[in-house]
Structure formats: structure tokens, C-alpha cells
Chain A
Amino acid sequence: MCDTCGCPNPSHHTHDHDHTHSRTIDVHTSLFAANDALAKANREHFDDSGIVALNLISSPGSGKTTLLEHTIDALKNKISIGVIEGDIETEKDAERIRAKGVPVIQLTTGGACHLDATMTHKGFHRLEKEDGGKSIDLLFIENVGNLVCPSTFDLGEHERVVLVSVPEGPDKPAKYPKAFISSQTFVVTKTDLLPYFDFSVAEATGDALHLNPRLRTMDLSSTTGEGMDIWLNYLLELVDKMKKNGNRKL
């Protein structure tokens, strides 16, 4: 019955007074639900395959790809590494990683500012077809360079690593809190440039810990190798834990 005029069948009446027959529908659905469900499936697949998956998030140019190049050099005789590269355009980053002799695929989002669980799912299946893609211990997913949007999308990673380079300034945690709240590890990169910039590692890590007291923090320089041992040990421990726990979640 029409609440306004009381007629029995609102869809058939034709009187021309000014009211509408609107209805309210309760939905209560998360807009992240679809992505989260697929991210969960990705994580289970990584668990079943014994792969540790890390999602690297930072601004453009903070040294994610350079850190990966040096990480691969240091660890490729110990563990098998695979990489999914996310960028808006070009294969440039994948070419740099491919030159290191590990399986890699490039996802180009064609304008989108972040990766999501669907892209990661498709990317991983492409990676499995690459040489060595079926025996990966440690998967790096290098997100699109952006400190804002990627932090909203779970890809199915086990841990999220946020990076800030010395030239960017120490105020990034305070300005972009979500990336630091949602991460497990915070890495300050390019510490070889500390003499040339007004960057306080204590301020950056202090602000990040203020947002997320459980955050693991480290600072390093990929090019000089300073602080790299802590980063490499962290990675090896994750791989070790995954191997010991079998296919149980990290």
C-alpha cells in the first residue's frame, strides 16, 4: 500500500499528486568485501605453496626496486625469490629484476594508483609460468609507487613493508598514517644520504611507532650495504618460519 496516498497498488495508480513510491533497502555490505575475499584466497594459496608474500609500499623513487636488486644478490643462493612488479606503465622495473636471474612479471595498471587482490591473483599465475616460478620461497609484490591508495587494498600478503627514503623527509609517517598503521615493517632507505639531508631517523621511526606501536623498524642503505643484515635476517626468518610451520599461516 502506498504510504502517502493509501492506494492499494502504487505501481498502477496514475493520479498526479507529487509523491514517489520509494523503498529503503538495508544492505550492510563492505565495499572491500570482494577484494578481501580474494586476498584471503591468495593468502591461503601462498600458505599451501609454502611461499612468504610481502607487499612493498612507498612513494615513487624511494628505492624499492634497488633494495630488491641488492636483496636478490645477497640471498639468491640461499632461497628462491620471485617478484611481481606493479607500475602504471612500462616494463622497466621487471627488466631490472629479470637481469638478476629471478622469475618476475610486470603488472601495468594502466592508470590505476594501486594493485588489488584480483591483479595479484592473475599476476601470480603468470609468475608461476616463468622459469623458476614454481619453486618460490619468498614473493615480493612491489606495489605502485604511492603512499596513499595501496594501503587500503589487501593483496593477500603475509606482511606489509612500508619504505621511506631519506630525501623524502621524516614527516611521511605523520602525513600518510594509513600506510604505517596497516604495515608490519617500516624501512628507512638511502641512509648513505643522511649527511646531506635534514632527516632524523629517530623522528621518522618515532612518529611511525606513535601510529603503530607494533611496527618493526629498520634503516639501511642498499648501495653501501649498511643495515642490510637486519633486513636480510628478517626475510630469512620469515622464510624459515614458513618452512617450519608447513602450510600454516605465518
Chain B
Amino acid sequence: MHEISLVQGLFHQLEKLARENNGDKIISVTMEIGPLSGIVIDSFRFGFDVLSADNDLIRGAELIIEVPPATYTCVQCGHKETTSDSRPDKCIKCGDLFLIPTGGEDLILNRIEME
């Protein structure tokens, strides 16, 4: 459950951004969570719900999650498959089982809406 500590880190950022922009209520938070970031989206949502209930600035804010794609390169034929779905089992071009993943590892705070 490292998602809880990541949500805590997010809340520190939201508090700082609210102070800098004279906001006193966060309406929505848009996050980008890569399919290879090691973050379980349900756990992140759970952490957000639990921690925001105790936070006057963030309580009731909508959490919007976007999942960007990762690219899987076949070691055999070099074909690159880009998808935000789960990892392909094999190369769709040559059927080889060995694919090198790149990208899709980050956790990004994209946008916030506040008033």
C-alpha cells in the first residue's frame, strides 16, 4: 500500500498549489498513472478518498485518472506495440515472447481545478 504515501505526497503538492494560487477548495484533480508505474489505481483511489475526508481543502474533490500507453519492443523483430491496456503476451507480428517495455512508468499530476 505505497499508494497511501503517494497520495500524501500529492496532498502536500495540492496544498502548496492552493496557497500559491489563493484557492480554498479543490474541485477536481487529474492524474496520469502509467500502466507500469506499479500503482494500483483502486488503492490510489481508496487512499485519496480516505485522506481527503480529513482534509478541508480536498474533501469532495473529484479524482480523474488518465492511463497513458506504454511501448513494448519485440527483441526478435523489433516491432513496437503501444498500448495502455495490460502487457501483450507476445509480439503480434512474429509471436516472440520477449518484449522490452518502455514508458508508462510515471505518476503525474496533470491538472487541478480549484476555486
- A binding-site residues for B, Cβ under 8 Å: 20-32, 34, 112-114, 148-149, 151-153, 177-178, 181-182, 209-214
Contacts and interface: CB of A to CB of B under 8 A. Distances in A.
Interface of B: 1-2, 5-6, 9-10, 13, 17, 21, 23, 27, 36-39, 75, 87, 97-101, 106-115
A151 B107 contact: no
Given A27-B109, A29-B13, A148 B38 contact: yes
Most chain A CB inside 10 Å of its own CB: which residue of B5, B21, B37, B87: B5
Given A20-B27, A113-B1, A152-B39, A28 B108 contact: yes
A182 B113 CA distance: 34
A176 B6 CA distance: 19
A165 B13 CA distance: 39
SS of B interface (majority): mixed
Nearest to B1: A113
B2 A24 contact: no
Nearest to A213: B98
B98 A25 contact: no
B42 to A, nearest CB: 14
A211 B113 CA distance: 38
Given A20-B27, A22-B114, 12 more contacts: A20-B115, A23-B114, A24-B112, A24-B113, A25-B112, A27-B110, A28-B109, A31-B13, A113-B1, A148-B38, A210-B97, A211-B101
A125 B9 CA distance: 24
Contacts of A181: 36, 101
29 contacts: A20-B27, A20-B115, A22-B27, A22-B113, A22-B115, A23-B113, A23-B114, A24-B112, A24-B113, A25-B17, A25-B111, A26-B110, A27-B111, A29-B108, A29-B109, A30-B107, A30-B108, A31-B9, A31-B13, A32-B107, A149-B1, A178-B36, A178-B38, A181-B101, A182-B38, A209-B98, A210-B99, A212-B101, A214-B100
